[in-house]
Chain A
Amino acid sequence: MNLLRSLPASRFILWCAAWLVPGQEREEWLAEWQAELWHVWQSYNRKAHGGFRGGREVTGFCLGAFQDSFWLRWNNPGSIPRRVLRTGSASRCSLSLGIWTAVSLSTCLSVPGAYKAIRSAPYRNVDGLVTISTGGYSGAQSATIHLRDYESWKTRTHRLFTGIAFYQPILKRVHVAGHRGTELSIGRASDNFLKVLNLSIPVDTANSLSGPYTAKLYLSQEIWREVFDGDSRLIGSVTEIAGQRVLIAGVVTQDSWQLPGRVDAWLLEDERHLAMLPANSKGFVLAHMRTSGALPRLDSWRYMTVHNEDGTSDRFDCISLEQRAQLPFSIFLFTLIVAVIALPATTALPLGEYPRHRGPHPWAARTRRWLFLWTKLVLFVPLVYFSSVDVAYGFYSAGSTTAQYMQLGLSFFGFLFGFRWILQDQRKRCPVCLRVLSHPARVGQASRNFLAWNGTELICAGGHGLLHIPELPTSWFSTQRWLDLDASWGSLFSDAYVPSTGLV
């Protein structure tokens, strides 16, 4: 501790702080602080009458040097942090966009609903896997298919489907010995459900358990951890649900399915027990379509028409699970294209007339300008995608129509107004240093429009030039024009000698 409060340690603190001071002032700055330190040291030593006790005060004095050096660094016109964080600088704009994109991405990864929406389909051999729902209710989260229809399709659709399964979410209270009872949303499903879905269950839990049980319960990993504290003894135990003895057969991750309806656990019952449910009770139907050479790959919306005995017919939607899982990305692509098409209706596309820059590297200024525009575009597109997914699927489940419409609206308007802002922002920046132009001034008179130009003049605070924006586009002045100012104008601008560093 004494070593830290010694004179060499204090000198070391000053030496460290000196590295923050701009190079041309560093030597003088350090000499002043070291001279002051000598006096501070002597002063405390004198007050203590030989028994020096002022170490803490001396260290405090030296730490103040960091504030002084930081002040000098910040107020140095050539300071990089000052240039980066300067109001209206291109770096500040790119940095803000980058931060917002990172925030929206991390929100997307941390909100379960949003994460589920952006991840790819979790099923293996997803080709041909469809959910069947009543026509027009494909996005509904509530069950639409009657059990009697499912029973009928089981025997009548062999040519269409290789497998067909039924499930019905029900709320049931589950009691397990050693754990408190809890109400779960249980997916009451036909026993071929996991096979149709192609979900793999660990062999030791699924097959090695046998006995006089007509139903098996598979808990979601989330419920197993949160409600049953991850108790491994639960697997193989017996509970009672809906009046029947049920074997808790295993745990499956909730990420394994992206199906309509919230399900905490799957209760697989044999067909005999399932048939005992009322014929008009509703559920969801999952099927695996037969893919033959004659049929194209299932990647689009399909309809199934069922003819009834009374001559009428019912139409059902068959939606590929892969397509369902890719829907958020499809909406994103669709809205991106529509927004790009609609953009010319909201703002002019030309960026203005910029003469060849007269600086030592004219191509560098041009490259920086385009690089900045593309940086904004590249950062903005994922920002809109992740933000719209965050809002839409953070509040509503992935398959719901409300979430899809919400994403559609947010994504479209986000892109449209975002692209509009990007173009407008690009137009009001200096083509040399890329800072936002300021001090707008009205020039000319509207009544003399055919004799001389009238409009707005903006100026670059760095003294690089003037931007003339016509009030009314004419044949000789249709778009904004940039006028370069040479170095002789520099004395009029306080910030003129800051080196032009493009993105900085």
Chain B
Amino acid sequence: MSVMANEPKLSHTAAMILQTIHVGQIYGFSVMEATGLPSGTVYPAMRRLERDGLIVSKWEQQSIADAEQRPLRKYYKLTRAGVTTLQVMHKRYPLLQKMISDPEVKNV
């Protein structure tokens, strides 16, 4: 089987969302703000990434939400497969890292 066949097939939008989660925007609305994509695009794309095992979701602890007097949030993070895929995507979409970079790196 060729190397190309093993490469995950992600659209530019999905790769952008993966990169956004990787740099620390870990919930839906922050991904929307960072990418400028509408909710109707971001959430279904995250469902697809989760189904393909590239990201996992986890509800935050109730005590944290209670302390900040807000509803519970669902956070997303990259799996090991997601990190590997993102590295492949960086080669495929070279501008991805420049478009969405780590906020701390940006400040330096």
Contacts and interface: CB of A to CB of B under 8 A. Distances in A.
Interface of A: 31-32, 34-36, 38-40, 42-43, 60-68, 71-72, 75
A57 B101 CA distance: 26
Contact of B73 (A35, A60, A61): A35
B40 A43 contact: no
A377 to B, nearest CB: 41
22 contacts: A31-B72, A32-B74, A34-B71, A35-B71, A35-B72, A36-B29, A36-B39, A38-B70, A39-B29, A63-B39, A64-B38, A64-B39, A64-B41, A65-B43, A67-B40, A67-B43, A67-B44, A68-B40, A68-B43, A68-B47, A71-B47, A71-B48
Nearest to B71: A35
B44 A36 contact: no
B51 A36 contact: no
A40 B40 contact: no
A34 to B, nearest CB: 6
Nearest to A65: B39
Given A34-B71, A35-B74, A71-B47, A64 B40 contact: yes
B30 to A, nearest CB: 9
Interface in B41-77: 41-44, 47-48, 51, 70-74
A67 B41 contact: yes
Q: Which 4 A-B pairs have the closest CB atoms?
A: A64-B39, A64-B40, A67-B40, A71-B44
Give the contact-size bracket for chain B.
10 to 19
B24 interface: no
Nearest to B73: A35
B43 A40 contact: no
A64 B46 CA distance: 13
Contacts of A42: 70
Contacts of A40: 29
Contacts of A68: 39-40, 43-44, 47
Contacts of A61: 32, 38-39
B29 A43 contact: yes
Contact of A60 (B38, B44, B70): B38
Contacts of A31: 71-72, 74
Contacts of A67: 39-41, 43-44
Residue in A38, A42, A67 whose Cβ sees the most chain B Cβ within 10 Å: A67
A62 B43 CA distance: 11
A64 B28 CA distance: 12
A418 B37 CA distance: 49
Nearest to A35: B71
A470 to B, nearest CB: 34
Nearest to B38: A64
Nearest to A72: B47
A74 to B, nearest CB: 10
A64 B40 CA distance: 4
Interface in B1-37: 27-29, 32
Contacts of B28: 32, 36
B70 A39 contact: yes
A60 B39 contact: yes
B94 to A, nearest CB: 29
A65 to B, nearest CB: 7
Which of A36, A40, A65 is the most central at the interface, judged by chain B CB atoms within 10 Å of its CB? A36
A145 to B, nearest CB: 73
Given A35-B70, A39-B70, A61-B39, 19 more contacts: A31-B71, A31-B72, A32-B74, A34-B71, A35-B72, A36-B39, A36-B73, A38-B70, A39-B27, A39-B29, A39-B73, A40-B29, A62-B39, A63-B39, A64-B38, A64-B41, A67-B41, A68-B43, A75-B51
Contacts of A63: 39-40
Contacts of A71: 43-44, 47-48
Contacts of B29: 36, 39-40, 43
Contact of B71 (A38, A60, A64): A38
B42 to A, nearest CB: 8
Contacts of A65: 39-40, 43
A173 B43 CA distance: 71
Contacts of A43: 29
A132 B32 CA distance: 81
